[in-house]
């Protein structure tokens, strides 16, 4: 039997071979708007930028958030750095951070790196928050993390539930870290922006504008004390986010809405294709309402991922990495023809190797 | 009296007015090699890169370090992130990190953020390491930090001392974090690269190639265990360094040595000008051997910095921010005519306001 694969980083840089089909890394295959590259061609600055992020970019972002001001934003090296900086800034010895489960695989690590402890609320049927359970655990925590649409489930949380979460955290004085990096990739309704004095919205240009490699994300919060702590920390830990990436981000924000709409239409077609295809293979899974992941149940998920890679030339991610053992995550951010070929290989795997597990 | 200025970040983004003279931020005013911008114009990638950094860039860097392999490098968001990641990766509760004093102002912060405590060795006459004192304190520490050439003193440590530091740390099994971001800006000899099993060399494209704003630095260490810890952590805290910045860095590495040599010649002329000018004003200061800073003694340094800014339109940094109260740091990374005008204003300040302190 092939060796178990230790984690997502094993696959980074793989997936460009012609015969390998990658349902692995969650990144768009469709390119960024050409305007983003064009802006780079004319750029000739080279000095340090503001630690908080370029004023022009923050001003443009503020237009997207009702009531927001440029000083409520910090531009970061992707959403990852935003979450890391927020956790480090609010860190208290013995502090607990409430995470959803399944979770994006980095959450437990960054909570630990910040010297705090992760607690979990389990997502129920369809990946929805069980509010009763959530409300039971939240009071002992320093912050709660909400991730809607979710990586790895694709679930979009109900607005009614999100409003209850807002009210509870406001009453308890808890920070809400709302990871909304997939906010523009929702199929059936608009995103609901969580509000509140201590809400930190984390977002990114990676998914909406296909700019993963450039690493530009941001946080938005009306909590000015928290924002200033984050900026002070970033001054020592990484300084300004790359000015080249910020130039691209500003250009991306200026493209017509049709750029994103076209992409969402494509994601939705792929979602329908992979969801129907997996149902047809007899797999049990939730129908994603946003982002670009499905998370079917598959026993011995570590072995599945290993076999799919070594025997079927397919990259998939073990649900165990996301707190969902016996599930496998498939990103459908790839061409329809590859999705179809992947489903064919998966069918063969299910009919042969998997039966023998 | 004008308010005291709280720290370096107060000045970020200031200094482009025509009448304001900035001896503040330590960044080259001379531009990066045109090849770096040209490389960007042709770039059309957008996907995640390797967390550790682009293979091509690491391979090119390995050529610069005798015996190094590409897998010994991690490309980071500037030297700042490299130091932050190393400290977090080696963090142990109660761990002590030995820092030089005067120090680069971020060091004590990042040690604290990593949950450890800073100890200090005081730099002696000329900014040189007092090895006896160093050897007394080092044994209780987890790592020592060496910064040669130094920010803020401009001192280049003697090779003999550096070899003793190497031998001691090797014997004690201590990490050496060697911040060599000014290694290419030494006026009188080649840099001495610290060696050892647990030496981490931190470097950057910011100073050598005038690429501060793009944020690309790196660490090099033959300690493969440490490198893999850093990469694992970076996977969760920021992912790959911006691919655009790495493309520029690779192009910069390929330019002829004359690019750097020309710059060093200019820094040296400016060093001579500001050093002679300050001596003429009667100030007491060490002669810098590298980097682009002078650190003259000036009593009430906080008030000096405030008065110079508000009354004389000059940016300077309070030595207290660097652990050197009653000193003021002047970066001479600016045009000779501005240095001359700055010296004129400083003369006026010394003859009027300063006399009344």
Minimum distance, in Å, between the CA of residue A162 and any CA atom of chain B = 26
CA A89, distance to chain mean position in Å, is 21
Three-class DSSP category at A222: coil
Question: Quick check: A128 and A179 in contact, CB under 8 A?
Answer: no
pLDDT at residue B14 in the model? 76
Contact B213 A110 (CB under 8 A): no
Residue A16, CA distances (Å) to A24, A33, A269, B78, B200 in order: 12, 22, 23, 28, 33
E strands, B105-254, where?
A: 117-122, 143-147, 175-179, 199-204, 217-220
Q: What is the pLDDT of residues A208-244, one digit of tens each?
A: 999 999 999 999 999 999 999 999 999 999 999 999 9
d(CA A207, CA A26): 8
Q: How does residue B26 score in pLDDT terms, banded at 50, 70 and 90?
A: confident
pLDDT at residue B12 in the model? 77
Q: Which fold has domain B34-253?
A: 3.40.640
Q: What is the pLDDT of residues B219-246, one digit of tens each?
A: 999 999 999 999 999 999 999 999 999 9
Contact B242 A77 (CB under 8 A): yes
Q: How does residue B16 score in pLDDT terms, banded at 50, 70 and 90?
A: low
Q: What is the DSSP letter of B41?
A: H
Domain limits, chain B: 8-26+258-356, 34-253
Contact B43 A37 (CB under 8 A): yes
Cβ-nearest to A213 among B27, B46, B238: B46
d(CA B331, CA B333): 6
pLDDT for residue B119 is more than 80: yes
Q: What is the pLDDT of residues B261-301, one digit of tens each?
A: 999 999 999 999 999 999 999 999 999 999 999 999 999 99
Q: Which ipTM was obtained for this model?
A: 0.95
> Which run of H or of E encompasses A175?
strand A175-179
pLDDT at residue A341 in the model? 97
Chain position carrying tokens 């971020």: B106
pLDDT for residue A15 is more than 90: no
Q: Which residues contact B293 (CB under 8 A, 6 or more apart)?
A: B26, B151, B152, B153, B154, B329, B330, B331, B332
Cβ-nearest to B215 among A25, A233, A240: A240
E strands, chain B, where?
A: 21-22, 73-76, 96-101, 117-122, 143-147, 175-179, 199-204, 217-220, 293-294, 314-315, 317-318, 328-331
Q: How does residue B2 score in pLDDT terms, banded at 50, 70 and 90?
A: low
Chain A residues with CB under 8 Å of B81 CB are: 237-238
Q: How does residue A12 score in pLDDT terms, banded at 50, 70 and 90?
A: confident
Q: What is the pLDDT of residues A64-111, one digit of tens each?
A: 999 999 999 999 999 999 999 999 999 998 899 999 999 999 999 999
CATH of region A8-26+258-356? 3.90.1150.10
Residues listed for chain A: 357
Contact A213 B248 (CB under 8 A): no
Q: What is the pLDDT of residues B293-316, one digit of tens each?
A: 999 999 999 999 999 999 999 999
The torsion defined by the Cα of A262, A268, A271 and A276, in degrees rounded to 10, comes to -130
Question: Quick check: A232 and A217 in contact, CB under 8 A?
Answer: no
d(CA B288, CA B271): 7
Contact A237 B84 (CB under 8 A): yes
Cβ-nearest to A12 among B48, B210, B245: B48
The proportion of chain A whose per-residue pLDDT surpasses 90, expressed as a percent, equals: 91
Cβ-nearest to A242 among B27, B236, B244: B244
Token code pair at residue B251: 């192009």
Contact A242 B12 (CB under 8 A): no
The closest of A282, A273, A272 to A351, measured between CA atoms, is: A282
Check if B57 contacts A (Cβ < 8 Å): no
Give buried/exposed letters for B267-279 (b at 16+ CB in 10 A, else e): bbebbeebbebbe
């Amino acid at each position: 039997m092939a060796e178990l694969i230790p984690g997502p980083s094993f696959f980074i840089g793989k997936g460009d071979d012609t015969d390998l089909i990658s349902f692995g890394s969650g990144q768009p295959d469709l390119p960024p708007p050409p305007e983003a590259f064009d802006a780079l061609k004319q750029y000739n600055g080279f000095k340090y930028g503001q630690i908080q992020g370029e004023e022009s970019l923050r001003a443009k972002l503020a237009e997207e958030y009702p009531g927001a001001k440029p000083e409520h934003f910090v531009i970061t090296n992707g959403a990852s750095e935003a979450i890391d900086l927020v956790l480090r800034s609010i860190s208290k010895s013995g502090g607990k951070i409430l995470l959803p489960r399944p979770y994006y695989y980095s959450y437990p690590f960054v909570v630990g790196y910040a010297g705090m402890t992760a607690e979990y609320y389990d997502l129920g049927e369809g990946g929805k928050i069980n509010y009763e359970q959530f409300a039971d655990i939240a009071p002992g925590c320093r912050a709660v993390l909400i991730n809607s649409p979710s990586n790895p489930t694709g679930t979009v949380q109900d607005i009614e539930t999100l409003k209850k979460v807002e009210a509870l955290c406001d009453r308890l004085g808890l920070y809400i870290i709302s990871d909304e990096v997939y906010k523009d990739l929702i199929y059936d309704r608009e995103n609901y922006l969580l509000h509140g004095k201590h809400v930190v919205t984390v977002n990114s240009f990676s998914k909406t504008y296909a700019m993963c490699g450039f690493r530009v994300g941001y946080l938005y919060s009306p909590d000015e004390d928290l924002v200033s702590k984050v900026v002070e920390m970033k001054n020592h830990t990484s300084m300004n986010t790359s000015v080249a990436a910020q130039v691209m981000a500003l250009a991306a924000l200026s493209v017509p809405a049709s750029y994103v709409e076209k992409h969402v239409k494509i994601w939705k077609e792929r979602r329908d294709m992979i969801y129907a295809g997996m149902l047809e293979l007899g797999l049990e899974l939730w129908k994603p309402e946003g982002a670009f992941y499905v998370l079917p149940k598959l026993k011995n998920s570590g072995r599945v991922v290993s076999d799919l890679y070594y025997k079927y030339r397919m990259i998939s991610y073990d649900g165990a990495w996301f707190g969902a053992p016996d599930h496998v995550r498939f990103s459908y951010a790839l061409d329809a023809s590859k999705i179809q070929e992947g489903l064919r290989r998966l069918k063969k795997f299910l009919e042969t190797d998997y039966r023998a597990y």
